[in-house]
Amino acid sequence: MQGNAQGAYDAMIFSAGSPFVRLAAMLADIAPGADPIDLSVGEPRHAVPDFIAPVLAKANAEFSRYPPIRGIDDFRAAIAAWLDRRYALAGRIDPARMVVALSGSREGLFFAALAARRYFAEKPGPPAVLLPNPFYQAYAAGAVMADAEPVLMGAEADDLPDIAGLDPALLDRTIAAYVASPANPQGSVAPVEFWHELLALARRHRFFVFADECYSEIYREAPPPGALQAALADGDFGHLLVFNSLSKRSNLAGLRCGFAAGDPDFLDFLSTFRNMAAPQVPIPVQRAAIAAFNDEVHVVENRRLYNEKFAAAERHIGNSFGYRTPDGGFFVWLDVADYGGGEAVARRLWAEAGLRAVPGGFLASEDGHGRNPGLPFLRLAMVNDLATTETALCRLVDCLGPANPDRNT
């Protein structure tokens, strides 16, 4: 990549910086109008499962050992078993070749783009990586560092990427497509039919589907289907990697433990590359992860706490600001166009109500038509306890008042 194109790609991650760095800079000279409540970072604040500390203590001596890059056998077996229980995969996940340990899903999502660039080195034309818009910054970072063109996909009415309208010539030079389900920030859930369609394109045009499923266990009612379910129905896990972690499921963001599962040939290739450059997951951390993935009681309670807060959002917000309770995830995505858009409202809420929230435009980028689809929106992370969340919601409504009723009928 050269010239203006390279500059445009770099601006997606380097010039703009992370959404949270941009938010800090934007609010730096503004004093909060009340005791601050942070709704910006999607960092879980529910309790860490009480069995984690004893497992780490028992395995303490294993901190002296270098961990295998793929993960210990027990970890990979536990992940394969959890995937089988969660998605009814008929025992088809081979823990020896189809699971690898990650130091959190983020590093895996990043390194996978670099590996895909080498795996499909013979692609015609400049390599491309497909991203949703809004998108998680690690996707764009991986694309740019792999020297691939990040291509932002349009969205359907349900906020899922519009894959039906993708140009076959673009797909021919695509090396990977990132899709999150439940999506961050909208909370939309991809049905099995969507995964079937995307996987069919991936196999026809030879690229990888990187399914980011880190919010898979944070949902309102029905468990979101997974990409592996669709692949099982096709009888083939090729061209697919799913990524998940304990950060959201088990409130263990600081443990830095996740996994990738799927295409065994690509995981062999990725592991060879990661073995020279990527972080390993300490064995005691893997032991704690085994315990966490083998327990669903704390996950059910975690989900209940989030659902209480979304019920509070329904009470306080109603249908103002285009609000709808998302099917999954733990973000509220508000349309604040009537108030000047996400950046103006983020400044106002901080200055008048002490609420720290992320402008939607910081989570997205300009598409090929020069439009940033996140600009009208504001993202709230529902990660505080219920009482704090209710206080924040009351402040938001008191500060902004009801939205234009003509936009919410």
What's the pLDDT tens digit per position in 148-169? 999 999 998 789 999 998 999 9
- Distance from C-alpha of 332 to C-alpha of 89, rounded to nearest angstrom: 32
Whether 395 shows a pLDDT value over 60: the answer reads yes
Whether 368 shows a pLDDT value over 90: the answer reads no
**Mean pLDDT, the chain, integer:** 94
Residue 265's CB: how many other CB atoms inside 10 A? Answer: 12
Average pLDDT over residues 379-405: 90
Do strands 331-335 and 377-381 pair parallel, antiparallel, or not at all (unpaired)? antiparallel
Average pLDDT over residues 96-101: 98
pLDDT of residue 401: 84
Structure tokens at 170: 């673009």
pLDDT of residue 405: 43
Average pLDDT over residues 133-143: 96
Average pLDDT over residues 81-108: 97
- Distance from C-alpha of 45 to C-alpha of 38, rounded to nearest angstrom: 11
pLDDT of residue 9: 62
Whether 11 shows a pLDDT value over 90: the answer reads no
Contact 381, 42 (CB under 8 A): yes
Measured in whole angstroms, how far is the alpha carbon of residue 155 from the centre of its chain? 17
pLDDT of residue 255: 98
Measured in whole angstroms, how far is the alpha carbon of residue 199 from the centre of its chain? 19
- CA distances 107 to 25, 137, 290, 408, Å, are 26, 11, 20, 40
Pick the closest to residue 359 from 190, 219, 185 (CA basis). 185
- CA distances 96 to 42, 83, 105, 115, 266, Å, are 33, 14, 19, 20, 13
Pick the closest to residue 232 from 196, 197, 267, 183 (CA basis). 196
- Reported pTM: 0.95
pLDDT of residue 220: 97
pLDDT of residue 403: 53
Pick the closest to residue 11 from 133, 95, 119, 137 (CA basis). 137
Measured in whole angstroms, how far is the alpha carbon of residue 82 from the centre of its chain? 20
Pick the closest to residue 344 from 27, 13, 15, 42 (CA basis). 27
pLDDT of residue 12: 60
The residue ranking higher by pLDDT, 73 or 12, is 73
- CA distances 47 to 5, 52, 111, 305, Å, are 45, 11, 30, 11
Structure tokens at 283: 């064995």
Measured in whole angstroms, how far is the alpha carbon of residue 183 from the centre of its chain? 7
Whether 100 shows a pLDDT value over 90: the answer reads yes
Quote the DSSP letter at residue 84.
Answer: H
pLDDT of residue 2: 40
Domains of the chain: 3-47+298-407 (3.90.1150.10), 64-294 (3.40.640.10)
Whether 125 shows a pLDDT value over 60: the answer reads yes
Amino acid (1-letter code) at residue 198? L
Whether 60 shows a pLDDT value over 90: the answer reads yes
Average pLDDT over residues 186-211: 97
Contact 284, 59 (CB under 8 A): yes
The residue ranking higher by pLDDT, 308 or 122, is 308
Average pLDDT over residues 275-291: 97
Quote the DSSP letter at residue 358.
Answer: E
- Distance from C-alpha of 364 to C-alpha of 348, rounded to nearest angstrom: 21
pLDDT of residue 406: 44
Pick the closest to residue 379 from 314, 338, 329 (CA basis). 329
- Distance from C-alpha of 407 to C-alpha of 321, rounded to nearest angstrom: 8
- Distance from C-alpha of 308 to C-alpha of 259, rounded to nearest angstrom: 29
Query: Is residue 198 within a helix (H) or strand (E), and if so which, with residue range?
Result: helix 192-205
pLDDT of residue 1: 43
